[in-house]
């Protein structure tokens, strides 16, 4: 069993998400997969989380039940859709929205106390990658500061920033090397890879040593492509 997730990012409307989910549910009624599937649509497109073959998660939430945090959503807005799965620390939030490690750790503390399943993202930028393995690992470990690695519903996604949305995935050797080193620290925590995963490379990537699945962006935004990814997995 692998974990395969689609991050819609800022794509899809409520109606296109609904179509996507209906298509996927129908596909998975016939195509049996051993893998655990999660979709992360934008919050404006949340749907009631009661599909048989996959879960709906949130790409972000603030560490509050409700309150005065304009532009954010909290626990109450997730509860309305029975959402119990949350992405924290995606590089786009860290880099573009300037979310720092303290903020990621606060979100993690709040939602782990509520028993959420947490997909927690880490990943290095190109200038760190160029410094080599030790620099990469040091950088990635700083992104785990304040995160309780004993939390049983934690899943970590390693998404090198230079591989996201570029069409240039890390090589199989690079993925296996970093995952194997990370696993020494992470133990049994599932470790996904993300960054230009698609229908052609999914199989090779998810069956590498120490890879427990994939977090996929652009190649999964059309439901037919995501179904093909699942067929090839
Ligand atoms: P791409 O698959 O588009 O590279 O995005 C990966 C990602 O950021 C998933 O969270």
- Cα 6 to averaged position of ligand 1 atoms, centre (Å): 8
User: What is the predicted pLDDT for the residue at 167?
Assistant: 85
Residues 6+ positions from 129 with CB-CB distance below 8 Å: 136, 160, 162
Taking the CA of residue 40 as reference, the ligand 1 atom at the shortest distance is: 10
Residues 6+ positions from 149 with CB-CB distance below 8 Å: 185, 186, 187, 189
pTM of the model as a whole: 0.97
Name the active-site residue from 12, 90, 92, 117.
90
Name the active-site residue from 99, 117, 124, 159.
159
Which has the closest alpha carbon to 92: 155, 131, 40?
Answer: 40
Q: Is 90 a catalytic residue?
A: yes
Residues 6+ positions from 59 with CB-CB distance below 8 Å: 7, 8, 9, 40, 41, 42, 43, 87, 90
- Quickly count: other Cβ atoms within 10 Å of residue 95's Cβ: 13
Taking the CA of residue 90 as reference, the ligand 1 atom at the shortest distance is: 10
Within 6 A (CB) of ligand 1 lie: 7, 90, 159, 164-165, 194-197, 215-219
Pocket test for ligand 1, best of 59, 215, 225, 226 (most atoms within 8 A of CB): 215
Ligand 1 atom 5: residue of nearest CA: 217
- Cα 126 to averaged position of ligand 1 atoms, centre (Å): 16
Q: Is 179 a catalytic residue?
A: no
Taking the CA of residue 220 as reference, the ligand 1 atom at the shortest distance is: 2
- Residue 135 sits at φ, ψ, to 5 deg, of -65, -40
Which has the closest alpha carbon to 1: 27, 37, 50, 44?
Answer: 37
The answer to whether the beta carbons of residues 54 and 28 sit under 8 Å apart is yes
Per-residue pLDDT of the chain (233 residues; tens, 9 = 90+): 999 999 999 999 999 999 999 999 999 999 999 999 999 999 999 999 899 999 999 999 999 999 999 999 999 999 999 999 999 999 999 999 999 999 999 999 999 999 999 999 999 999 999 999 999 999 999 999 999 999 999 999 999 999 998 888 889 999 999 999 999 999 999 999 999 999 999 999 999 999 999 999 999 999 999 999 999 99
């Amino acid at each position: 069993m692998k974990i395969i997730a689609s991050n819609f990012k800022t794509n899809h409307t409520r109606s296109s998400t609904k179509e996507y989910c209906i298509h996927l549910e129908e596909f998975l009624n016939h195509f049996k997969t051993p893998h655990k599937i999660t979709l992360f649509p934008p919050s404006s497109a949340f749907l009631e989380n009661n599909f048989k073959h996959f879960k709906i998660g949130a790409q972000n939430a603030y560490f509050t039940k409700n309150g005065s945090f304009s532009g954010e959503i909290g626990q109450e807005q997730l509860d309305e859709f029975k959402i119990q799965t949350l992405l924290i620390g995606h590089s786009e939030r860290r880099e573009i929205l300037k979310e720092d490690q303290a903020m990621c750790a606060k979100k993690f503390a709040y939602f782990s106390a509520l028993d959420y399943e947490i997909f927690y993202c880490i990943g290095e930028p190109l200038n760190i990658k160029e410094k080599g393995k030790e620099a990469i690992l040091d950088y990635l470990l700083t992104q785990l500061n304040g995160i309780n690695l004993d939390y049983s519903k934690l899943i970590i996604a390693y998404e090198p920033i230079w591989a996201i949305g570029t069409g240039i995935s890390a090589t199989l050797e690079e993925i296996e090397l970093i995952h194997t080193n990370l696993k020494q620290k992470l133990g049994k925590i599932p470790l996904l890879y993300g960054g230009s995963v698609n229908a052609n490379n999914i199989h090779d990537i998810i069956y590498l040593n120490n890879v427990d699945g994939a977090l996929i962006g652009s190649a999964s935004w059309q439901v037919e492509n995501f179904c093909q990814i699942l067929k090839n997995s």
